[in-house]
Chains A and B, each alone.
Chain A
Amino acid sequence: PDGTRRFTTNTNGGPLFVYVKDDKIVRMTPIDLDDSDAESWTITARGKQFTPARRGMINPHAQCLKSVVYSEKRILHPMKRVDFDPKGERNPQNRGKSGYVHISWDEAFDLVGGEIQRQKKEHGPGSMALWHGSHHQWGNVGYYLSSLLRFGNLIGFTRVHHNPDSWEGWYWGAQHHYGNSLRVGIPGFYGLVEDCLKEAEMIVFWSSDPETTNGYASGLEGTQRRFWAKELGIEFVHIDPNLNATAQLYGGRWIPIKPGTDPAMAIAIMNVWVTEGIYDKEYVESRTTGFEQWSDYLLGKEDGIPKTPEWQASETGVPARVVRALARQWAKKKTYLAAGGLGAGFGGACRNATGTQWARNMVLLLAMQGLGKPGINFGNLQAGTPLDHNFWFPGYAEGGISGELAHTAGAAHTYCRMPHVLTMNPVKQMVPRQRLPDAIIDGHATGYPWDGFSQEAQLTPFQYPMPGYSKIHMLYRYGTSTFGTINDTGRYVDMFRHDSIEMVVNQSIWMEGDALFADVILPACTSFERADISEWGNSGGYIHHNTDQLNHRIALFQHKCIEPLGESKSDYDIFTGILNRMGTGAMFTEGCSEFDWAKRMFDASDLSKKVKFKDFVKKGYFVIPAEQEKLRSPAYFRWFAEDRHKDVPEPIPLPSQWAGDFAKGLQTQSGKIEFVPSSLLRGDPDNAERPPVNRYIPSWEGNKTTALLHKYPVQMISTHSRFSFHTYGDGKDSTVNDIEDHRILIDGYYYWVMKINPADARARGITQHSLIRVFNDRCSVICAADVSPMMAAGVCKSYESSAEVDLFLDPRFGRVDRGGCVNMLTPKRPQVKGTDGMGSNSCLVEFEPYSLPVEALQRA
């Protein structure tokens, strides 16, 4: 009635209605379900009935997106660095310093297509590295595992192999005790919302802030379920150096702890259980192996040091009596352990020097209390809603249009239901993502693989360069997030400027981060400016049935709401343009537009059995009906606790991986939870940093590294941003910048926030919202201080993911960033020898009041 037209779209922060008038977005709102949409489920627990609100609860990083689409930082034209001449001087040393000139798309495609061909002729296969972030704007067609991979495969590229950043300690540690490799070492969650509401008496949130991270890509859907828990009188405990958003909202005992010392506290809890005989002896006896050896360690029979609550107190800062009280409560009450934001995994504590130890202990704690029995499991009500698990609609990890069967989960469904031209990358050379600058600067690097199909594959290193292939001479960077999200990112400045790199291409939407270091910039458009199709929260792949975090499964048509801004193009069209220069454009598109691909995907999916394509596109979304109550999935691990055949809908372990009867037990060698894992005893028995007996080993950068601690006495953690999705939504002139918990405006500049304790502030003369220089030997980053007792003393916390990098030379301190990339300060060292895990949260810093130099700022 107001002249607008209502479209639908889908984002990392939930689905949206998009109101458009005259090719301009007027507003974006959450989606309220209507009466024609499928009914919602109801859970009955302790005499009460719980039904979710009929609305998609979105994140702030979705609600800000209009400002992000129309950001003044949008790249509106293809560009070339002024002093980059592919036929003459390339001036790599000026990357990040010199400016740009507009070029036409024709020129841009010639430049990039021409260079790709020149590289192949000059250097041979593998000389171009293709490199993207972990995340992408939502959608199945225009995703990096879809279009980008198809493009890459048609060219051939050195793969920048990701470390399992979300899962680190779980993948490199926990899975050795109980399997679950296909979930990268985290537990599953089927049926657990119902079980928790019906049975649990306490939830221990351990490094878990679901109000900030909401598991993964699930909006604020879990919030109302946690309010139900409060209504039922389920008690909450929060173990975190920060009174995080979840602890603030729901209350419950806060146990502030020194980062990275959590394993000591977990071990002391288990010590109390053994000493006082308050663990599930029958379960330990029948469902686990190796307990005697573990209990010898707990009691000090192994090394003469009983791991008592008193023993842990000086490490963790948590008084012994609090640990004892928690241990006793835990034993007395049926307890859910919310390990990480998902409840069933992740957690900042899995991304530090003791991350493997922590995640391993999370499993061992529950092994001692009867994991899988009613009311005893992993979770925080974030995951495990009673939704349909059989209705197939693709998640992004199912490969989209890639035609890639080895590096996506496309083979199982997408490819066979939507036959399309298969593609593969003939270049076997890989470079580990965290070691990319080292590979370029030092010329070599070692990585460890991420493999979802076994506990063993991670143990064999791979090398860059790989015999027979070219070293990397061209970087094709898709996105801009490196400085904010990888560790010790000062290294990347030197990498980008390295002589051996002949061209840096950047394909991005906003002028920020890595884009500033490119030779050629290809402007992509946002997902609001192209067609796509997707389901909310459906990642597919490693988070099998991730949609179990939602209250309703919602599949969406992502309309092209507006025309691409300026001269920007969809990534798909950019890839087509480049491939056309090589003659493979038609193979890439199969004659299809993005809209056509979306239709092909619709036809392939179960959606086509429920709704006509025309009607689906018109309404824009479809609610996939919830499972009938009698067909709901049983609780996860119940089969294991009761030694029955596995009865939850996940395809792991593989048929060959059951030691005993098919579908009975776990993926481990014994089929039980192993206190001392046979996979480590066999595959990595002598690794002092990851011993088969999960001993407490203090952090290599923390409260025991006294020489360094003397210089840099504060432990910095850098965790996931509440108001942006990593770099998506931050900076870019977005409305999120005005949120005081995100950035603080000082003298016309939006500074990144560092949370610090009042005592630490007082000792250094720092006042609320004043500028501080946070530094260590790696770099200096300017932040604005947020001083409050919500931060434990001696610890500071910031978000990991600044989109802005703004390097300048301070005559007093050298290279300084005031964009807020605190990852300039974090260590690149892998958390444990023989792994590629990030140790970002083991980071010692100092801070002090700061004011800008009097000299004009010089770009560095």
Chain B
Amino acid sequence: MSQWNLIIDVARCENCNNCVLANKDEFVGNNFPGYSAPQPLHGESTIKISRTVRGEGHMVDAAYLPTLCNHCDDAPCMKAGGDCISKRADGIVIIDPEKSRGRKDLVAACPYGSIVWNAELNIPQNWIFDAHLLDKGWKEPRCSQSCPTAAMRAVKHSPAEMAALAKAEGLQVLKPELATRPRVYYKNLHRSTHSFVGGSVVASIHGTLECVEGARVELMKAGHTVATARTDAFGDFKFDALENGSGTYTVRVHHSERGYAERVVSLGSTQFLGDIELSGARAKA
């Protein structure tokens, strides 16, 4: 039996909001009996995008994380909701717009914040994967159809196929520790959840400060090298996907002609070390 899944590549999401707007276009003012009641024009949306900005100075990046109902196979909302929430054979979780009337408690039942309260109609609402359209033969939901970067991909796969794909592409889910078995998978999630350590390597050459290209940079932890990098033409290097609060690192920079430098970093979250000036051509330790 094949079921719907959504794959979101955080590195391809550009915050254009087409997915959010397409979703609103579909549900604001429209009633789809058995699927969804009209959603309000303004206010919290069933698709949300949150921003993570990392770094400072010239080494800054931003990631956008779209979140929506995960259509969990082991859904906490269903446990709380009883017969007002059901899972279809194709994996989609639907909150019955009639039966769920007044159930504001369900908002808190979703550990992902994916249930939104519709105060006008007095009902809880989720993103329903546009089941009403899929049932009419549409190939994908509105959000991924409007996505200009293919950051969102809807795929219909058997559980085994999906598991294989998740493995092959290194996909992750949100809050795996809850074991809710989400059907929304993420790629490059570290851009939202993890930190980087970066810096700019410079050296004085004939009395002029220059960017140092091609320096070897090592990221060390407890005496071991955990990653290496080469500085680019601007002298920049970046070690990404480091766990927040993962402790003390040493950054060692070495260039055969320009010298050596070392910095100790205690990683709470992202650290841009700024300029690292090399001095005294010292051989690599």
Contact = CB atoms under 8 A, between A and B. Distances in A.
A322 B211 contact: yes
Contacts of B250: none
B148 A790 contact: no
B62 A248 contact: yes
Interface string A65-84: 01100100000000000000
Nearest to B57: A789
A735 B21 contact: yes
Interface of A: 1-2, 26-30, 32, 53, 55, 57-60, 63-64, 66-67, 70, 211, 219-220, 223-224, 227, 243, 245, 248-249, 251, 253-256, 319-322, 324-326, 328-329, 722-723, 733, 735-741, 745, 788-790
B169 interface: no
Contact of A58 (B12, B24, B42, B146): B146
B211 A790 contact: no
Contacts of B177: none
Contacts of B21: 60, 63-64, 735-736
7 contacts: A243-B61, A243-B62, A253-B236, A254-B60, A321-B210, A325-B233, A789-B60
Given A57-B148, A321-B211, A735-B21, A2 B26 contact: no
B56 A723 contact: no
Contacts of A737: 42
B44 to A, nearest CB: 9
Looking at chain A's contact residues, the main secondary structure is mixed
A255 B21 CA distance: 32
B56 A789 contact: yes
Interface string B53-68: 1011111111000000
Contact of A63 (B25, B28, B51, B53): B25
B264 interface: no
A224 B12 CA distance: 10
Contacts of B234: 253, 322, 325-326
Contacts of A223: 14, 148-149
Contacts of A53: 150
Interface-centre pick from B30, B53, B148 (highest chain A CB count, 10 A): B148
B53 A788 contact: yes
Contacts of A256: 58
Interface-centre pick from A28, A248, A723 (highest chain B CB count, 10 A): A248
B3 interface: no
Contacts of A32: 145
Interface residues of B, number: 48
Nearest to B50: A740
A818 B208 CA distance: 49
B222 to A, nearest CB: 30
A253 B145 contact: no
Given A58-B146, A60-B17, A322-B211, A248 B233 contact: no
A57 B26 CA distance: 18
B137 interface: yes
Contacts of B148: 57-58, 219-220, 223-224
Contact of A723 (B17, B59, B202): B17
Contacts of B97: none
B29 interface: yes
Contacts of B30: 26-27
Contacts of B25: 27-28, 63-64, 66-67, 735
B28 A67 contact: yes
Contacts of B53: 788-790
A599 to B, nearest CB: 30
Contacts of B42: 735, 737-738, 745
A253 to B, nearest CB: 5
A484 to B, nearest CB: 20
B22 A738 contact: no
Contacts of A67: 24-25, 28, 41
Contacts of A60: 16-18, 21
9 closest A-B pairs by CB: A220-B148, A63-B21, A325-B211, A57-B148, A249-B14, A248-B62, A735-B24, A789-B56, A329-B233
Interface string B245-278: 0000000000000000000000000000000000
B235 interface: yes
Interface in B1-48: 12, 14-18, 20-22, 24-26, 28-30, 41-43, 45
Contacts of A723: 17
B142 interface: yes
A321 B17 contact: no
B146 A63 contact: yes
Contacts of A739: 17, 20
A369 to B, nearest CB: 17
Given A1-B137, A60-B17, A253-B234, A29 B145 contact: yes
Contact of B14 (A70, A211, A243): A211
B89 interface: no
B28 A325 contact: no
A790 B60 contact: yes
A249 B147 CA distance: 14
Nearest to B132: A2
Nearest to A249: B14
A321 B209 contact: yes
B61 A251 contact: yes
Nearest to A246: B14
A756 to B, nearest CB: 13
Contact of B145 (A30, A219, A248, A319): A30
A295 to B, nearest CB: 22
Contact of A321 (B14, B28, B29, B202): B202
Contacts of A321: 202, 208-211, 235
B206 interface: no
B58 A63 contact: no
Contacts of A722: 16
A29 B142 contact: yes
Contacts of B60: 243, 254, 789-790
Contacts of B224: none
Given A251-B61, A320-B209, A790-B53, A58 B235 contact: no
A666 B30 CA distance: 57
Contacts of A326: 234
Nearest to B13: A249
B136 interface: yes
B29 A70 contact: yes
A29 B14 contact: no
B3 to A, nearest CB: 23
A254 B58 contact: yes
A327 B149 CA distance: 32
Interface string B139-159: 000100110111000000000
A648 to B, nearest CB: 29
Given A220-B148, A322-B234, A788-B53, A735 B28 contact: yes
Contacts of B202: 321
Contacts of A319: 209
A224 to B, nearest CB: 7
Contacts of A220: 16, 18, 148-149
Nearest to B151: A249
A27 B24 CA distance: 9
